[in-house]
Amino acid sequence: MDELLLRSLTPSVLAVLVRRGADFAAAEDAVQDALVEAVRVWPGDTPRDPKGWLVTVAWRRFLDATRADTSRRRREDRLDEEPAPGPAPAVDDTLQLYFLCAHPSLTPSSAVALTLRAVGGLTTRQIARAYLVPEATMAQRISRAKRTVSGVRFDRPGDVSTVLRVLYLVFNEGYSGDVDLAAEAIRLTRQLAAAIDHPEVAGLLALMLLHHARRASRTGPDGSLVPLAEQDRGRWDTGMIAEGVGILQAALARDRLGEFQAQAAVAALHADAPTAKETDWVQIVEWYDELAGLTDSPVVRLNRAVAVGEADGPRAGLAELAALSDSLPRRTAVAAYLHERDGDLATAARLYAEAAHRAPTLAERDHLTRQAARLNAERR
């Protein structure tokens, strides 16, 4: 049984049913029934047109369920207009499904879960394991999301930027359990890039590839974090970097700059440097200036302060940092790093320890604690 084939066909089959007028939740149930039937039938009799087979079976399951619901009998005339058997149309409705799953009425966590379920083809159990929550909790989250988008029709273009943010959220979850969400996000973004010609889709795909190329070097054998400057660049995936840079260059050539393209440009400059000392920090500052103009994000300004500290010296970076709120996540860790670069080890050690208490993850807390201990040992 080709599980990858089923997963790749699931979103387009679901989208066909929704486009024909099926309620999202009912369509999803019907598609799941068709997948179960495929697992039973296909090993002994694989259809020549797998997508068409799934569409036909799922639509019949949907009709059967609808006829059983007496409150919907008035809609039977429309529902009985079953298409004639034959190959499924070549039109790919998956793009509409992306927009539906990233509907603005959904919370980010619900949009992510629904995207993984409907577009990614993951089971509720797999998604729950990836997010380290009970399966029942994830099932409730997905059910609420399906109820929210039920009845939503594709009568206007979807918001590409919302879809991209959902995919970026999936990518940033990384890896846990038996599902590699970073790899899944790349797969889904490739699928989106094939369905829509948009420079920011390409920018996001390039950004994901450039970040993912460094994955093997981000942690030590004991699971500890390895900062970018200390990573073994020989372990970076040069093929993935080359692909990401190529996609980015093609997107930038269209002269429709967006935030994901700008972020990818920063990542490309890091990837291009043979060593940390050879990083083109001046150009990185320029890209952060572009990003700040596009987003006005405090996180962008925080990253820019680091880049300024590298390009113009730590005191220049600290001056940029002074304009940012103390409550900004990771600001204290950045301040500690810049004070260390400036030679103020006592202040840096104190700030590293303070940042460790605020760290969002255990790995980050341990890293910052080690930094504080290292500086305290050097001062003795």
Dist CA 318 CA 340 (whole Å)? 11
Can you give the pLDDT at residue 334?
97
Give mean pLDDT in consecutive 10-residue pieces for the chain, a chain of 380 residues. 80 88 88 91 89 93 79 48 46 71 84 86 83 88 88 67 87 69 88 91 97 94 92 96 98 96 98 96 98 92 97 97 93 97 96 94 93 91
What angle (nearest 5°) sits at the alpha carbon of residue 37, between those of residues 36 and 40? Answer: 95
- The predicted model scores a pTM of 0.79
Dist CA 208 CA 189 (whole Å)? 9
In the structure encoding, which two tokens stand for residue 77, read together? Answer: 């005339």
**CB contact set of 126 (below 8 Å; sequence gap of 6+):** 177, 178, 179
Can you give the pLDDT at residue 178?
61
Phi, psi dihedrals of residue 121, rounded to the nearest 5° = 75, 15
Can you give the pLDDT at residue 310?
97
In the structure encoding, which two tokens stand for residue 292, read together? Answer: 């700040």
Answer whether 211's CB lies under 8 Å from 263's CB: no
* 3-class secondary-structure state, position 254: coil
Phi, psi dihedrals of residue 179, rounded to the nearest 5° = -125, 125
Ramachandran bin of 47, using left for φ above 0, alpha for ψ from -120 to 50, beta for the remaining angles: beta
